[in-house]
Structure 1
């Protein structure tokens, strides 16, 4: 299972978000810390709809492991070392930045400025990478690729911003750079500053960080840990009403989990056979024969063909049947989901694909195999 670390300066709200993401009952108070690791479900409305239609005994979402990394305290060497060691053990990072004015200040006691906090967090990762490169040069000498990386990092720029050629990538293939990890930026704002779409041209922390994220191609999520804490204490119906009143379709933690999933280059495909409806994780570009092995090794070994329908096509057929007013049926072969698949086959929307087909996000897949 892939691991994502939540990092931030003290008072950023990262521990609160960690607790809410992973379903901890005891959400830490403002300024509190959890510093642990737990598994979180990645919400997917597509899977929820399939479960509603197929009525399985079990529904399985994809999961990610999240780690609450100790807060970074610039200038405290021992704590910085602990911070960097924890970062090294992750596959991706969520940088939690403050977008509210109250509470503890930023570095040096300043008021919260998310761009300053971003620079502080990234600087620690870049400096750690630079120290590693310089040590490598001292021990093994400098190659053209290593010198290029050193110069780039020395300018205060993360490794992820460096365009490398194939030969350079091969030369650095066994070197792990902290500033190369996939990242998601989270701006934690006060409840009153949360809106689904800030007006164009506005200033302030949301607009400034959003411009920086767009310029660098980094996923960004705006949340209010204060609001998420309130939502966590409500029942499902009350939470849905509360979110609707704010013009939000779902909690920010759900959007964050999906953003992390996407930043890792992961996609989901679905299976609906038997008593379980399930989402499976593969990397973008995975061929269907390899994806079949995720379900069971026999399916990959004896792969013949895959029946595939995109979720969008499935949902369109389902919507058309709903308009006809046909009554729902029961479970298994007589479930609404199987009736929808029958109708989709009649429209030639269910395709037979060979072993080299690249699975797409949202594909509903049934594997034909023989062993």
Structure 2
């Protein structure tokens, strides 16, 4: 199953432009109301520079990258402008598009453009984030209160098994009612079963995608890297757009969230070029790679995912697993029978394989290993699984 990232943001934040750049889906651009149930969906391949060299060697019938699904939903922002008593959160239809997302990409606008007016009349990414968080909290509050009502009715039977759930729901209710994130709370192992059924938006891993002006893109990426690495940044000494970028970056670091800066407008222009032309243009700008690729990579890092490979004459393929997965679990990504009947894995790391030129040469150098059930798969491992599902 593809990794799914839900893209949310205020109207006119550039999120659909970003979606188009990520997916080349050519979705229509324009603000539309939160009540709209429309969503743009697209599944795109995850860039992996290891696939082509393997394909050049094996000349397989097909090459299959792993994929990520992006879901772009209507603009949000109604909660910040409504009185507390009028806040209703997102509609059920709207919620349905993103409740199953593995992570949220929250697009925050830092660029100014008189031709693209901001719905609040000024540029302030921190304010915009607070607005979006408020709407997510109000939506989750409605979910929690509905579940609390149902569980409280069941508890009237006198069965004490419902009390731990009621206690959890009341803690969530109190936090969300203050427009705080459910992720700020600490939970027991017992709580996880209930949380897994609630699909709370304020519990989802999140990345902040800063939609910046093209002329500050290079400086923005350097600034984000410095803050991420713990460098000393005097935010108040920064001016204009960079100050807002730094504040979001510091907030993301405190929350354990990820942050990436892109210029959605530039990405849209690059999406019209060939891959070679796009990379030449990026090099001329002093940028290492497409923002779309960086968003995907950040998503993988956020969700603690890695990629292992299989390679042969039939197919060269990338597979996604959670970091720390053992060999049988990775085998199960290919087929449940392989996990069930797992015997061992023949593992050669991509770098060792390329340095050797073949599996036989890697084996002769001692670079191909036989690993058992306790082996932890590494990013870039090329694995061949031996299994037996006989009686």
| TM-score w.r.t. length of structure 1 | 0.84
Range that drifts further, 116-125 or 286-295? 286-295
Correspondence for 2:321: 282
Correspondence for 1:40: 44
Correspondence for 1:140: 151
Deviation readout 1:248-307 (Å, 9 max, x if unpaired): 222100111222233334321100122311001223333212322322344334322101
Correspondence for 1:353: 371
Question: Among residues 255, 258, 279, which one is paired with 1:240 in the alignment?
Answer: 279
Correspondence for 1:177: 200
Q: Is residue 73 of structure 2 the alignment partner of residue 69 of structure 1? A: yes
SS in 2 for 1:120: helix
Correspondence for 1:54: 58
CA RMSD between the two structures? 2.7
Correspondence for 1:112: 123
Correspondence for 2:20: 19
Q: Please give the residue correspondences for 1:97-108 in structure 2 after superposition, counting only pairs within 5 Å.
A: 97-103=108-114, 104-107=116-119
Shift of 1:359: 1.9
Is this contact kept in 2: 1:145–1:172, CA < 8 A?
Answer: no
How many residues are treated as equivalent by the alignment?
348
Is this contact kept in 2: 1:280–1:294, CA < 8 A?
Answer: yes
Shift of 1:312: 4.5
For 1:78 and 1:128, the matched residues in 2 are separated by 7
For 1:58 and 1:206, the matched residues in 2 are separated by 42
Correspondence for 1:197: 222
Range that drifts further, 279-288 or 221-230? 279-288
Correspondence for 1:128: 139
Shift of 1:309: 2.5
Is this contact kept in 2: 1:92–1:181, CA < 8 A?
Answer: yes
Shift of 1:15: 0.8
SS in 2 for 1:166: coil
Q: Is residue 94 of structure 2 the alignment partner of residue 83 of structure 1? A: yes
Is this contact kept in 2: 1:126–1:158, CA < 8 A?
Answer: yes
| TM-score w.r.t. length of structure 2 | 0.80
For 1:278 and 1:85, the matched residues in 2 are separated by 31
Is this contact kept in 2: 1:36–1:67, CA < 8 A?
Answer: yes
Note closer, same or farther for the CA distance 1:16–1:357 as it changes in structure 2 (3 Å cut): same
Note closer, same or farther for the CA distance 1:197–1:53 as it changes in structure 2 (3 Å cut): farther
Is this contact kept in 1: 2:343–2:387, CA < 8 A?
Answer: yes
Shift of 1:188: 0.6
Correspondence for 2:174: 151
Shift of 1:240: 1.5
Gaps of 5+ in 1: 319-335
Note closer, same or farther for the CA distance 1:9–1:218 as it changes in structure 2 (3 Å cut): same
Is this contact kept in 2: 1:306–1:365, CA < 8 A?
Answer: yes
Shift of 1:313: 4.1
Shift of 1:176: 2.3
